Structures are given as structure tokens and as C-alpha cells.
Structure 1
Amino acid sequence: MKKHHFILMLLFIPPLLSGCWGRVELQDLGIINATAIDRLDDGKTRVSVQIFIPRTITSGQGGEDPSAGSTFVREGTGDNLAHAISNLQENVPRRLFWGQCKIYIFGEELALNGIRNEIDFMARHPGPRGNAFLFVSKGEAMEMLTLVPPLERYSGEALRKSAEEESGLKTTLRDVDMALMGTSESVSMPYIKKLESTEQTKKPNETIPVIDGAAIFKKDKMVGTLNKEETRGLLWLNDAVKRSTISVQIEGQDGEISMTPTAGKIEFSPKIDGNWIMNLNFKISGDIVQNETHLNLMNKDVLKIVEKEYETALKERVTETVEKLQQEFDADVADFGRRFHQKYPKEWSKVKDNWDEKFPEVEVNIHVNAKIKGPGYIGPPAALPRNEVKE
């Protein structure tokens, strides 16, 4: 009986051990933090990766060397992205590990010529994750990887935090893949550049990449960019505003009043009545964070005037963005087409093949309802004599 038990144990042990045979030790991996993809003048593709240095030891003592960088950059070139990555691996002694790479940057030249092939590779490859962030850089993408942030460990980390914490404008690989296959075949990505600084720095390239607007794609090609103000309008359209300040000037008053929205909602209401109409209804509320005027914001009548100014300001901001998307880019990144399709499937079937022609003709009506929840801890302007306060 014991002999049979021993034989059974021998039969079960090999399958349990086989799972470790293909394991790659951590010290044999090159962990990629960020990737840049550029199109060169000869039409070839260059891929550059920011690789994490696990440990930098000072000579003669333990601990990390604060003067040494935490990453280095390697590149590979090929006829396409797959070939470039294959050549890249030859330039790195460790096996490249893509599982931790959350940042992918397309160079401007590549974006203008089309990114469909690169998206196809990234979506098929088991390494890049669907929730990885995508960006377009002004100029060459590789330069973004060589920047040395004064606060973060590497530029890829600075970009990730900017997308997640600051602007609210973020686009993932999954977003792009789905959008380019969707009804509008349009998508936006954060447009980044190197922050120019006049301060004297200790290291060359000691600065950060910053989001400077949005790159607009029609099908797989970049057709233009939105500036910061227009991008905030796009964020309102996408219901993705995280941190924003709206400043308005009241007629007859010097200075501005600034409000930070604390809650916001947008409702899309498509309508076909001869013309194709998209009604946008915004509801926002927020707090006053600065008052440069002499107005007393504890006065309800004054608050109503300020609310109307905010409604006008937001309407103008969104209108400018919509007009540029319709008339200049013909790119439906706000997904009007999908909403018409959902409400009017029969009518949509007649125009879906010509949506590029129909989208610029859509009449857009914007309605804004703004409420100020709190004027701040003080009503009258701070440090202003009482006799100068205007009720």
C-alpha cells in the first residue's frame, strides 16, 4: 500500500514543479516605465524606452546614490514597431518587461502620419495594458524620456501624475482602440511639451513634460490640436473636469471673481426635427475662491449676477471648442453620433456612412445653469475698508 502511495506522489510532483521552469528572475528583467514611438525622416519607426535602474549604490557605503539617475533610455529602429522592438531587445542585456509600463508617447510626426499600425501592435501584444496612458508630444517623443524632473523619480511618473491628478485629460489604450472602431472614429489625447524654465538647473534637461492641450485624431491621424482653454471646453463636453477655475469680470467692476466647480453634470439631448440638433444642458455648482472686486458676495442679488456671468463664460468656452471640432477638424470626439444612433436608429442608418459630412451641420444649443454654493468664509472683499464695499 505504501508503495502505491509513493508512486502516486511521484506522478503528481513533476506537474507542480513544471510551473517554475519558465520563470524569469527579477534581476534578469529590464523593467520599462515609459515608451516613446517616433517616425524618422526615412519612414522607419524608432521605439525608445525608459528602463528602471533597480539599485544605484554609492562607492564605499550602502544606500542609493542621490546624484545618480533612477532610469536610462535605450532605443531600437525598424521598418515597423514590431521590428523596432525586436532590435531594441538586442540593445538591452535583460529581457524587457512591459507589464509596468503605464506611459506611451507618440511623436508628432508619427501622429500626423497615422498610428493605426502602432495601436494594432499594442492591442495584440500581451505586454502593454489596456489602461496604459497615451500621449502625443510636440516634436520627438524620445525627448520626453530624457527629461529629469526635480520632484519625481523619472519623467514617466511625472506624466502619469499629471494625467491622473491635475488636468483630468487622460486617454488609455483601451479608449483609443474603442473610439477608432466606434461611430465617430475620432479620439483625443493629451498633447505634451517640455516645460521651458528660465531657472538655472544643476542637471541638463532638469524639467518636466507638461500637458499643453489636446491632440485631436480623425480615424488614426492627428488633424490638429486644441489649446488649454479649448481643451477645458472638451473636458466639460466629456464630463471629465477634475480641477478647474473659472474667472469672470463683472461689468463696471475692476478685477475678477474666480470660482472652482465642486460638482457638474452634462446632459446630451439629440433631436431631429428637419435639422439635426444636439442640446447640451450643463448644471454646475462651485465655491468662490477669490474676489478681486469691491462687491459683497453675501448679497444674494450680487450672487445672481455672478452666476449669470459664469453661465456665459462656460457657454462661450464650450461653444469655441464645439465650433473648432465641427468646422476645422470635423472630428466628433464628443461622440454626438453615438447619441443620435441610440435615439434615432432609423435616421442614423441613413447618414452613418456620411457622418463626416453631417457632423459639421449639426446645430448645437448650449444651456448652462450655474449655482454658487458658497462665497467663501468672508462676504465682503478681504482687507477692504467697509465704506468701499459695494452691496
Structure 2
Amino acid sequence: MKKSLIVIFLVIFTLLLSGCWSKRELSDLAIVSALGIDKVNDGYSISVQIINAGEMSENKSSGSQSPVTTYHATGQSVFEAIRKLTASSPRRAYFTHMQLVVFGEEFASEGIAEALDFLARDQAIRSDFNFVVAYNSTAKDILNVLTPIEKLPAKKILNSALASQDAWGSTRFVDTEDLISELGDDDKSTVLSAIELVGDKELGKRPDNVERIETSAVLHFTGLGVFKKDKLIGYLTESESIYYNFLMNNIKSTIINTSCPNEGSITTEIGRSKTTIQGEFEQGIPKINVKIDVEQNVAEVKCAIDLSKEKTLKMIDKKTANFIKENIEKTINTIKDNYQVDILNFGEVLHKEDHKAWDTIKDDWSTMFPELEVNVDVNVKTTGTATLVNSIEKE
């Protein structure tokens, strides 16, 4: 009798465990690929880019619908606006697969802290998505643009950001943990990749935007947005963004164009870059020393030079080093003079170097930073000249 009761109990217990009380059917969910946040009056306007799964499938796509649909809602908080989406979206928004968050320019200028708090706190949202800021635009307009080749606009934006970061050096991938860490201290600031809508935003919404050889509207990364604490205060140009990334040891590869001794130009590809930043105090006055070691390959030559000679390679090395040094110094001066915020983390370097000396100046760091002495030393070595010893012009 006892054995029978045990068996019955085990069978019932197994049946109870076989189901998942909290499961969500895919057909009941609207999968969000991107979230946009804008400022409106005293509240928030949010835009969510929902994946149309049927159109994303190459085998089942009818071609009659857009691969994504964007829904919009407003609220006094981001959380309220997201809940109000249920009034217009046929399914409840599901954020687990979200790849991108776009901050509208006006919203970012007033502060992103409250929205970041929600994104970090909500357990239904993962932290491995990328943040970008809309240059001279709203997040809504950015997410409304349909993109060619890559059906999912959010994925296109993410792929462009990562490709540019790896091959050009003008963007920077920032996820939730990075952003919270960088804005978690009152003295800290940060940068986010800035994306621009080029062309007609109304035509960019139409399906034929992806059917033309030349699209009416495209999304283009245009540099880095500079944040003072949690507020957007301006932008670095595309060139300045590259040299900012040199300073932050983020360059994986980029291209440098320098002039030849007489006429013409040389294009080199940076294959490796290592930046070392050290701080020191001289009689209580802080100073920063930057050392950058670069390896490059000759990619294109538009002048008559002999690449088989060592002195030619040394000339190229010196020109590239001077070019990088000059542009890094210009970028540092732009940051110090125009924005006066330590997005280069020089304060952290000085703190690690001598925490006692740092404690005596940290309260005045915001006023000392623009006057900080920064010495830049760049060393370049050419390791390859491709398959040609001389330029075509010399041959």
C-alpha cells in the first residue's frame, strides 16, 4: 500500500514539473530589436522596432510587408511608456533579444541617467546591447529608416558600428555595464557613437528605400558624442574620434594618409597600435605622458619613391608618427578647450600613480584639467610593403 502511494505521488509530482508555469509562447510576443528614447514635454517618447518574423525568413517572405514595424508611445517614465505600447502593439514587447538603444539628441542633452537606471534594473533586458546617440535627430527618425542588404535595421547599425570600430576606428562599442561604470562616479564622463540620418527621412520609411540602387536615406556614423556626466554636450568629428580611440588604446586598424617628400601621397594601414599613459606629479602639479607604438603596412603609393631603401621606410615612419602625434595633440586640445571634461580618464591615471597627491587636487580637477600638460610620443615601424618594392610610378 505504501509503495503504491509513493508511486502515485511520484507520478503526480512529475506531471507538475513537466510544465513551465511562466512560459511565453513565441506567437504571443513582439520581439524587440531596437529601442529609441526621445524627450517630449515633461515625459518620454519611446520607439520600439519589432521584428516581423515572417518577412525575416528568406523562404517564407512574402515581400508585401516590411521586415520590421516601429511602434511608439509616451509616458512620464520609460517603463510607463513601454507598458502603454500594449495599447497599439498586437503583442507584448519582448526585450530579451534587443541589440540596440538609440538616444535622441534632445533627450541625451537633458540627461540619460533615468533611462539607464531602468535599462539596468529591468531583469527582462539583457546588458549586451549597444548604445548610440542620434546626431541632430530623434531616435524615432533613426529607427524608422529601412536599410538595404541587411533586412533588420538594428543589426545593420550594430554591424556598421563594429566594422567601423575594427577597420576605421571612429566608433566605440558601449554596453550597459560599461556605461554604468563610466557614469557611476560624479567626476566621470563618457562618449557614445553618434549616428546621423543622411537624406530624406520620410522617403527612408518607405519600402522602396531598399529597392533603389541609391537609397533616399542612409544611416551613417559620424563620430563620437561627448557626455559630461550623463548629459550630451557636443561631438568629436570623425577624425577626432579616431585619435581619441588612439589615446584610449582602442585602435585595431585604420588608415593614415601622409604626403610624399616632393609631391603625391602615401597611404598606410595601421595594423597594431599600443598606447601607454603614465601620470606624474612635479611639486604637486600633475602631468600626463602618452606613448604610442604603431606598426603599419604600406597600402598605396602615389609618388616616385624606392621602398627597397631603409631610409625611405624611415622617412615614411617619421611622417606617419608626426601626423599621428599632431592629430592626437589637436584632439586633446579640442577636448580640453571646447568640452573641459576628462573623457580620456587622465584623472584615473593620476590617482593610480599617486593617490595621496591626487587627493590634494581631485576637488579642483575640473578646473585643472583644461590646463593639464600632456606630452605625446609616437613611434612607428613599417613592417610590410606588400608585393611591390617600388611604386608603380617609379617603375
Question: Could you tell me how far 1:232 is from its partner in structure 2?
Answer: 0.3
Aligned ranges 1:212-291 → 2 under 5 Å: 212-251=222-261, 253-274=262-283, 275-291=285-301
Aligned to 2:4: 3
Aligned to 1:335: 345
Aligned to 2:63: 66
CA distance 1:327–1:131, change in 2 (3 Å): same
Aligned ranges 1:162-173 → 2 under 5 Å: 162-168=160-166, 169-173=172-176
Contact 2:252–2:273 (8 Å) recurs in 1: no
1:171, 1:351 → 2: CA distance?
30
Residue 321 (structure 1) aligned with residue 320 (structure 2): no
Post-superposition Cα deviations, 1:216-248, rounded to whole Å, max 9, x if no partner, equal 001111111000010001111111113310010
1:248, 1:136 → 2: CA distance?
32
1:282, 1:227 → 2: CA distance?
21
Post-superposition Cα deviations, 1:37-91, rounded to whole Å, max 9, x if no partner, equal 1112x23210001000111499xxx731235321000011012212211212322
Aligned to 2:182: 179
Aligned ranges 1:359-374 → 2 under 5 Å: 359-374=369-384
Contact 1:36–1:49 (8 Å) recurs in 2: yes
Sequence identity of aligned pairs in percent? 25
Contact 1:183–1:337 (8 Å) recurs in 2: no
1:346, 1:144 → 2: CA distance?
47
Aligned to 1:346: 356
SS at match of 1:373: strand
Question: Could you tell me how far 1:11 is from its partner in structure 2?
Answer: 5.8
2:187, 2:292 → 1: CA distance?
22
1:117, 1:57 → 2: CA distance?
33
CA distance 1:83–1:294, change in 2 (3 Å): same
SS at match of 1:295: coil
CA distance 1:155–1:57, change in 2 (3 Å): closer
Contact 2:73–2:85 (8 Å) recurs in 1: yes
Question: Could you tell me how far 1:15 is from its partner in structure 2?
Answer: 4.9
Aligned ranges 1:29-68 → 2 under 5 Å: 29-40=29-40, 42-56=41-55, 63-68=60-65
Letter in structure 2 aligned against 1:25 = E
Question: Could you tell me how far 1:326 is from its partner in structure 2?
Answer: 1.3
Question: Could you tell me how far 1:306 is from its partner in structure 2?
Answer: 1.0
Post-superposition Cα deviations, 1:148-198, rounded to whole Å, max 9, x if no partner, equal 11110122111110122223422222211110114741000001102349x
2:301, 2:37 → 1: CA distance?
46
Contact 1:213–1:227 (8 Å) recurs in 2: yes
**Mean Cα displacement is larger for which, 261-270 or 346-355?**
346-355
CA distance 1:183–1:334, change in 2 (3 Å): farther
Residue 84 (structure 1) aligned with residue 81 (structure 2): yes
2:71, 2:387 → 1: CA distance?
53
SS at match of 2:390: coil
Aligned to 1:154: 152
Letter in structure 2 aligned against 1:94 = R
Residue 203 (structure 1) aligned with residue 201 (structure 2): no
Question: Could you tell me how far 1:385 is from its partner in structure 2?
Answer: 5.6
1:94, 1:202 → 2: CA distance?
23
Aligned to 2:169: none
SS at match of 2:82: helix
SS at match of 1:203: helix
Aligned to 1:123: 120
Structure 1 residue aligned with 2:312, among 302, 308, 316? 302
SS at match of 2:181: helix
SS at match of 1:30: strand
Contact 1:213–1:231 (8 Å) recurs in 2: yes
CA distance 1:183–1:115, change in 2 (3 Å): closer
Q: Which runs of 5+ in 1 are unaligned?
A: 387-391
Letter in structure 1 aligned against 2:197 = K
Aligned to 1:94: 91
Contact 1:256–1:292 (8 Å) recurs in 2: yes
Contact 1:184–1:335 (8 Å) recurs in 2: no
Contact 1:102–1:129 (8 Å) recurs in 2: no
1:29, 1:202 → 2: CA distance?
24
Question: Could you tell me how far 1:268 is from its partner in structure 2?
Answer: 0.8
2:352, 2:282 → 1: CA distance?
16
Over aligned residue pairs, what C-alpha RMSD do you find?
A: 2.2
TM-score, normalised relative to structure 2 = 0.90
Contact 1:46–1:77 (8 Å) recurs in 2: yes
2:20, 2:363 → 1: CA distance?
53
2:119, 2:189 → 1: CA distance?
18
Contact 2:223–2:238 (8 Å) recurs in 1: yes
2:125, 2:307 → 1: CA distance?
51
CA distance 1:127–1:354, change in 2 (3 Å): farther
2:253, 2:198 → 1: CA distance?
20
CA distance 1:282–1:184, change in 2 (3 Å): farther
SS at match of 1:83: helix
Letter in structure 2 aligned against 1:256 = S
